[in-house]
Amino acid sequence: MPTGGKLVSTGSHDSFSFYIDEASPVGPEQPETVQNFVSVFGTVAKKLMRKWLATQTMNFTGQLGAGIRYFDLRISTKPRDPVNELYFAHGLFSAKVNEGLEEINAFLTDHHKEVVFLDFNHFYGMQKYHHEKLVQMLKDIYGNKMCPAIFAQEVSLKYLWEKDYQVLVFYHSPVALEVPFLWPGQMMPAPWANTTDPEKLIQFLQASITERRKKGSFFISQVVLTPKASTVVKGVASGLRETITERALPAMMQWVRTQKPGESGINIVTADFVELGDFISTVIKLNYVFDEGEANT
């Protein structure tokens, strides 16, 4: 049975951004220019920001039902929040973290053989006690569903099913070294192309896969284009989906179709607006190609 590093899984980029709270303050990670823009133009500025910050339309339950199994999670505190609540955040704030994690857990409880990857890869405004709160939240919600950190090569569906593990939590903070069920962030690298050019993105993705052969870990291919400031200005009222994602989708999907899973191939593929085209089914089908190849060797 293929191991975690050989299977191909589908993932969503900024998985929580289906909900953006326009009434919230700007996230603490945003540059001063953005802070000033919002302070001057208020709600109008936030509505425009939302068009570029929202990279998904389906909630967690919808994504899971469609086949998404990797979640890109970014966590923040709110300035001057007396209860120290934790929120998902991408420029503006999204839902409370506990609500999203509970939603994912409800799906797992109903689908005992499904496995998800939760990748906590950015933390904003978080002190030690915030991390302690998040770790306790994970324990309370997922409990024995969480797989302790082991070598990536040892992870197979057979192993996870035998142990009743359904959740692998990756945590990009030194805190991961202190908690057995947190996998260090370096075991889930996600190279970022940072380009609006589909051709450059594809070149970057291919080069990253070649580099991956040196790493004994899981690996993310971000089939994601990132708008430059000039792109946002030109398409300010249209938004990310219409201006970039939909136009580039055919070329990006063609690249995905030519890929193979395995230790020298793709592993987890993430995208914006995962319902577009046939992204999810195309990625999942690659596993059957791998099975056929294994049978013929």
Q: Which two tokens stand for residue 151?
A: 């070598």
Sign of the four-CA dihedral 148, 74, 187, 110: positive
State the Cα–Cα distance between residues 242 and 222, nearest whole angstrom: 19
> 111 with 36: CB under 8 angstroms?
no
User: Residue 112 catalytic?
Assistant: no
Largest CA distance in the chain: 64
* Beta bridge partners of residue 12, listed in sequence order: 71, 271
Ordered alpha helix ranges (H), 168-223: 198-212
DSSP category for residue 192: -
Placement of tokens 């030690």 in the chain: 128
Among residues 90, 130, 131, 172, the one annotated as catalytic is 90
Neighbours of 281 (CB within 10 A): 11
User: Residue 172 catalytic?
Assistant: no
Return all residues near 194 (Cβ < 8 A) that are at least 6 apart.
226
Placement of tokens 């950190």 in the chain: 149
State the Cα–Cα distance between residues 280 and 271, nearest whole angstrom: 9
Please report, in angstroms and rounded to a whole number, the separation of the first and last CA atoms in the chain: 14
Among residues 13, 130, 131, 172, the one annotated as catalytic is 13
State the Cα–Cα distance between residues 115 and 290, nearest whole angstrom: 19
Q: Which residues are known catalytic residues?
A: 13, 90
